[in-house]
Amino acid sequence: MAGYLPEEARITGSARERALEAFSREYGRAAEVLARAPGRVNLIGEHTDYNDGFVLPVAIDRAVYIAAASRSDEQVELLALDFEERSRFPLSDITHDPEHPWSDYPRGMAWVLREKGLPLVGMRAVISGDVPIGAGLSSSAAIEVATAKALQVLSGFELGDVALALAAQEAENRFVGMQCGIMDQFISVLGRKGQALLVDCRSLEHRLVPIPEGCSVVVANTMKRRGLVDSEYNRRRSECEEGVRLLRRHLPDVQALRDVSLEDLEGFGDELPPGVRKRCRHVVTENARVLAGVEALQSGDAARFGELMLASHASLRDDYQVSCPELDVMVEAALGIEGLYGARMTGAGFGGCTVNLVRAARARAFAESLAAEYRNRLGIEPEIYVCSVEDGAQAERLRPT
């Protein structure tokens, strides 16, 4: 059988090869399209996106790959290689497959694209990847975005980057049922190599912010699977909404916590239930930290950025209350290690990963020391990823060799 090579050899990595090989094995022919969508880590700006605030994520060198080819009918056939599970559905009637919950992400994506009236063709696809699942690095957003990219190339419809990210968020909100903000899908589409992305989650204006020379992003997986995340996440969202509703009595122009200043909160905070006041204080101070963090990165001041990361962690732990003992230990363990600028939990919380900004020359040694320190303190073997910051999603049409 003829082998196939990508037209542009831009997409590399073994999860990519696995997807291509499995496609040939599974379907007895070569794939036509290869889509890649990265996971993400957020440097600062946590639980701000659904409050119309600011975030500063990066796309990382761990991604979901989808190898696909079109079908002449309207069936979608999926093989999730890493689970060795299959799921199949017709485009005209997309429902849930409770036995294969992973398939909600590609199903939801196809459902939203079809609702938008985009002409979709059926496809055969293999999904594979190296974004750790349930670790807070947005493997689900990556599956959604990779599915959209694969369908886009196979079906030949136009959809801009921001519209694609919004459609992927809609899949998560309306089909999967998780009320996430826009951050994860946005960075998976729009990330750029070596740069963080400042996103104004109200206007969706965005701007690249270079990571200073000599800095590395090190992600530390506590191995605590995120628990409680959906219910607690939705509860935090409603607490923020309650804060807005109560503050509006005095500040009628406030649409979201994004519009509230620290002075406003000091002035009227007494009228909020104590828990709601704490949630609001986190969001208000976190937005300010993102903007200060952007200035720090732009002036190459990694030490200042690191201080802001630590303050962000404390605020998430004490005010927003979405940390957990494992995340706190991982941050504390990093503090004494040479080369660290700053550390904090990243993502929704309740488990998953911390993000560390580290002097690049020390990154490997830092990772080893952090693993040993965490193991000593908790008796749990963590996974530490020294990440490179990569481009957002791509899809390439493959050609026969």
> Which of residues 50 and 341 has its CB atom nearest to ligand GLA in the complex?
50
Residues in Cβ contact with 311 at an 8 Å cutoff, skipping those fewer than 6 apart: 285, 289
How many positions of this chain bind ligand GLA (CB under 6 A)?
Answer: 10
184 binding ligand GLA? (CB under 6 A) = yes
Residues in Cβ contact with 167 at an 8 Å cutoff, skipping those fewer than 6 apart: 109, 112, 113, 116, 148, 159
- In DSSP notation, 52-92 reads T-EE-EEEEEEEEEEEEEE-SSSEEEEEETTTTEEEEEETT
Shortest Å distance, C-beta 162 to ligand GLA? 15
How far is the CA of 53 from the CAs of 189, 320, 348, in angstroms?
19, 15, 15
Q: How many CA atoms lie within 13 A of 306 on its CB side?
A: 20
Residues in Cβ contact with 317 at an 8 Å cutoff, skipping those fewer than 6 apart: 323, 327, 328, 345
183 binding ligand GLA? (CB under 6 A) = yes
180 binding ligand GLA? (CB under 6 A) = yes
Shortest Å distance, C-beta 119 to ligand GLA? 29
41 binding ligand GLA? (CB under 6 A) = no
Residue 85: strand pairing partners: 80
CA distance 380 to 50: 33
Shortest Å distance, C-beta 377 to ligand GLA? 26
Going by C-alpha positions, the residue among 219, 188, 182, 185 that lies closest to residue 203 is: 182
> Which of residues 96 and 237 has its CB atom nearest to ligand GLA in the complex?
237
37 binding ligand GLA? (CB under 6 A) = no
Candidate ranges 104-112, 179-187, 362-370, 380-388; the one touching ligand GLA (CB under 6 A): 179-187
293 binding ligand GLA? (CB under 6 A) = no
Tell me the three state secondary structure of residue 33. Answer: strand
> Which of residues 46 and 373 has its CB atom nearest to ligand GLA in the complex?
46
Residue 108: strand pairing partners: none
Candidate ranges 44-52, 113-121, 212-220, 265-273; the one touching ligand GLA (CB under 6 A): 44-52
Residues in Cβ contact with 259 at an 8 Å cutoff, skipping those fewer than 6 apart: 52, 251, 253
> Which of residues 51 and 369 has its CB atom nearest to ligand GLA in the complex?
51
Does the annotation mark 130 as catalytic?
no
Shortest Å distance, C-beta 345 to ligand GLA? 10
Shortest Å distance, C-beta 167 to ligand GLA? 15
348 binding ligand GLA? (CB under 6 A) = yes
**Marked catalytic residue, from 49, 61, 130, 184:** 184
How far is the CA of 244 from the CAs of 11, 22, 54, 276, 296, in angstroms?
44, 50, 17, 10, 30
How far is the CA of 392 from the CAs of 146, 322, 373, in angstroms?
10, 28, 33
Shortest Å distance, C-beta 181 to ligand GLA? 3
319 binding ligand GLA? (CB under 6 A) = no
Q: Which of residues 328-347 bind ligand GLA (CB under 6 A)?
A: 347
Candidate ranges 45-53, 74-82, 98-106, 389-397; the one touching ligand GLA (CB under 6 A): 45-53
Shortest Å distance, C-beta 157 to ligand GLA? 26
Question: What strands, in cross-sheet order, belong to the sheet with 340-345?
Answer: 340-345, 353-359, 215-221, 383-387
The distance in angstroms from the start CA to the end CA of the chain is 10
> Which of residues 30 and 41 has its CB atom nearest to ligand GLA in the complex?
41
Task: Give the β-pairing of 57-70 and 383-387.
Answer: unpaired
38 binding ligand GLA? (CB under 6 A) = no
Candidate ranges 43-51, 122-130, 270-278, 304-312; the one touching ligand GLA (CB under 6 A): 43-51
> Which of residues 55 and 66 has its CB atom nearest to ligand GLA in the complex?
55
Given candidates 53, 181, 351, 352, which one binds ligand GLA under the rule CB under 6 A?
A: 181
Residue 395: strand pairing partners: 35
What are the catalytic residues?
A: 184
* Contact residues for ligand GLA, defined by CB under 6 A: 46-47, 49-50, 180-181, 183-184, 347-348
